[in-house]
Amino acid sequence: TVQKDGICISEPTEVTVNPQPETPAAPTVEVIQPTCEVATGEITFAADQGVEYAFENTFANPLVPNNGIITVSGLAAGSSGTVFARTIDTDCVVSTNYSIGDQPPTPVLEVMDAEPECGVSEVDLLDLISGGSTQSPTATFTFFELDGQTITPLQSSIVTESGTYRIRSSIGECFVERDVNVTIANCELLIDKTVEAVDAANDGILNAAGDIIDYEIT
């Protein structure tokens, strides 16, 4: 320290102020919601250079990008979370929240084939839906006739011909289908008996004679 006129004068010291760390952009998270077939959700977003990402602000388990894209699948339906972004080697942190919705409901459909029954000329396909199925009005039912590779929509649930039919149960966009076999019984009784006509009295009059037919309908 140098004194001049009783005043202490210190040697100059250089001080360097670093540039302000760059704050990263908050990740733009695209959410893929659960579907009728997939019960879990997924998120995906672009990863910037020099930025690390994680589900916790400690960044103990960073998310690893693949070709500049981070994708995380298998996220539980009805869950939510936060993606944190931090410029590497700084404390500059931003975040983006995301939410995974519920999986759309899929109906339950159990069916049985129609047993043939005498005296029944039509079958209501609705009667072939078992009690454990999701019922109307929660579910909506539509019906189809199958003929080889041809599938024909039906306007009614009532059918009058034997064949294979398809029942579809829908809740919103989710649906299940089951096939049923319908047999319309033909219970007609046909009796065919041939008799021989003879002129028994030799009087020119033909008489029909034949065996007695005994039958029982049950």
The whole-number pLDDT of residue 4 equals: 57
Which has the closest alpha carbon to 183: 122, 109, 142?
122
pLDDT tens digits, residue range 25-54? 999 999 999 999 999 999 999 999 999 999
Percentages helix, strand, coil for the chain (3-state, rounded to 5) are 0, 40, 60
Phi then psi for 36, rounded to 5 degrees? -60, -35
pLDDT tens digits, residue range 147-182? 988 999 999 999 999 999 999 999 999 999 999 999
